[in-house]
Chain A
């Protein structure tokens, strides 16, 4: 799929709607496909233009560690924090800054659907929250999320390498 002229997916308006993503078979096979699609659209908006589309994709660019940290420069889209934020928002659909128990259950449900019982789902969610929730407010904030994933090699796992 692409925005350029040769792609049949191009819609003449130069914008994408959620239905346009539906044409990608692989995406509709992905258990969290719907959430990924909605990550492209700002809350309340029904279309995404090319610039915003690219900005979201930029989260998956490999991190360049050689770039010097300059306080004045705005944080690049593919920094570790921004990648984490992207993943956080896949959980936190109502964008209130916390992953509630219910939201966690929802994600688990879409990833596992018919394969596990409701009790199993509950116990998995319970365990996950207990581990990550440090201030005991029964929800996982972004900082708690970040802390629990401290050691994970995010750059490698959330990056897509382009071939020249």
Chain B
């Protein structure tokens, strides 16, 4: 045992020195390349270079998988990727003919007439649509067409080749061994600074200096958080950025949306006060500039909420309010119905469209599947989060519109810009003319089978 201690002693010192040096180098690099640019809002362009390299890598990986799959005759993309039930794409005619064929021995072409079994087709189609409709699909994560070296986004990860597996393993090492600790450090730095500095600023008297400083501090801390997620954001049309006294409205995919928007401009946040770390952050933020936080009990009272929002909006020295009217996280392929509360207030609305690039990592938070911490860890261990933000020109409610129509108009604009599907799903949609024309088509198809088209009839 004593010989072992002799063995370790000189190395002990060496190890300590090496550790010390590497830590210092590490922190200096961190400071110079990440924190200082965050403070001043400049960028070295490292992240974009990183993104380009990653894309090339993913292309290679996808090609490799496709080649491998062809060689082994695997089915690479599940044919019904988003469906719960198997729906055959056969037409009305084909299906009904099939039903009849199995039921009778008659020569079909001679007398196409009504059969009692025809109703099976319509009944089944109807119940299929009850089981699997458009709306539920929007709540699960989008499926990918290329592989980004994350097993979580590829359902059919088979062993294809040694090179690919090695690459994947290397990627795993880099992501969990290097990127994750780096990001967690940054995240803690960012949040810690936010809490600390906003508390300091809270001690100052209200005035121009306080507002100026609070703006700078908020921006700086959000920028550090953006780097903590390696988020590569492209802002479009910055001339339309929201101004004081307005309401900024955006589509919601994940809690990260807040960080993305707030690192480019200052907003007053709206939300419920939570306990724990979140609550600490909220309480310190409100010391530096007026955010709108509600107690749990106040949230149910619509009039109170509306009043506080409109009071805030009328004061032109206060920052624009940031609201996500969908009310819940959607998987970034479509925009769901907007809740009308924020459109009722009568302020100018600045719509913003956020679209995440799914090639790098799925930013959608499925709150029924993952908790917040789990989600953040997943985000921090994926390659990068790439997204685009479009600032749309401001809109106001017109004289002949009510809040719901205004909300729909804004929603359509956001969906169009972000390339998302505008789902006009509305539980209260009354039976209107639109539905009748579709029903007529079905009826036309069926009657053609039974009695032929009007031209046939007149000819015979």
Which residues of A approach B to under 8 Å, CB–CB?
A: 1-2, 5-9, 20-33, 36, 57, 60, 86-87, 90-91, 107-108, 111-116, 120, 124-125, 127-128, 132, 140, 145, 148-154, 157-163
Contacts and interface: CB of A to CB of B under 8 A. Distances in A.
A80 to B, nearest CB: 12
A30 B84 contact: no
A31 B83 contact: no
Contact of A20 (B84, B426, B427, B451): B427
B302 interface: no
Contact of A120 (B85, B130, B442, B451): B451
Contacts of A5: 368
Contacts of A107: 119
A117 to B, nearest CB: 9
B431 A22 contact: yes
Given A30-B125, A108-B114, A152-B99, 16 more contacts: A1-B130, A5-B368, A6-B139, A7-B136, A8-B336, A24-B130, A26-B125, A29-B442, A31-B443, A32-B122, A32-B126, A87-B123, A90-B119, A113-B440, A125-B114, A153-B102
Interface of B: 80, 83-86, 95, 98-99, 102-104, 113-131, 133-136, 139, 336, 368, 425-427, 429-431, 435, 438-440, 442-444, 446-447, 450-451
A93 B196 CA distance: 71
Contacts, number: 163
B426 A23 contact: yes
Contact of A90 (B86, B123, B439): B123
B86 A57 contact: no
A116 to B, nearest CB: 5
A2 B444 CA distance: 31
B126 A33 contact: yes
Contact of B116 (A29, A132, A158): A132
12 contacts: A21-B130, A30-B129, A36-B126, A86-B123, A112-B443, A112-B450, A115-B443, A115-B446, A115-B447, A151-B104, A153-B99, A157-B120
Interface centre among B123, B128, B442 (most CB of A within 10 A): B123
Contacts of B130: 1, 21, 24, 27, 36, 57
Nearest to B457: A120
A111 B445 CA distance: 10
Contacts of B80: 163
A127 B124 contact: no
Contacts of A33: 126, 439
Contacts of B121: 157
Contacts of B429: 22-23
A157 B446 contact: no
Task: State the majority secondary structure of interface residues on A.
Answer: helix
A25 B431 CA distance: 10
A21 B135 CA distance: 13
Contacts of A86: 123
Contact of A151 (B103, B126, B135): B103
A158 B443 contact: no
A112 B128 contact: no
Sort A-B residue pairs by CB-CB distance and give the 5 closest, nearest first. Answer: A26-B129, A115-B447, A152-B103, A36-B126, A29-B438
B86 A161 contact: yes
A36 B116 contact: no
Given A25-B134, A30-B439, A145 B116 contact: yes
Contact of B131 (A21, A32, A128, A160): A160
B435 A25 contact: yes
A132 B116 CA distance: 9
Contacts of B115: 128
By CB atoms of chain A within 10 A, which of B118, B119, B368, B426 has the most? Answer: B119
A143 to B, nearest CB: 13
Nearest to A56: B127
Contacts of A161: 85-86
> Which of B116, B425, B439 counts the most A-chain CB atoms under 10 A from its CB?
B116
A6 B369 CA distance: 10
A31 B123 contact: no
A7 B427 contact: no
Nearest to A113: B443
A19 B353 CA distance: 33
B427 A9 contact: yes
Given A2-B136, A25-B435, A30-B442, A162 B123 contact: no
Contacts of B443: 31, 111-115
Contacts of A7: 135-136, 139
Given A115-B443, A115-B444, A124 B113 contact: yes
Q: Which of A24, A113, A152 has the most CB of B within 10 A?
A: A152
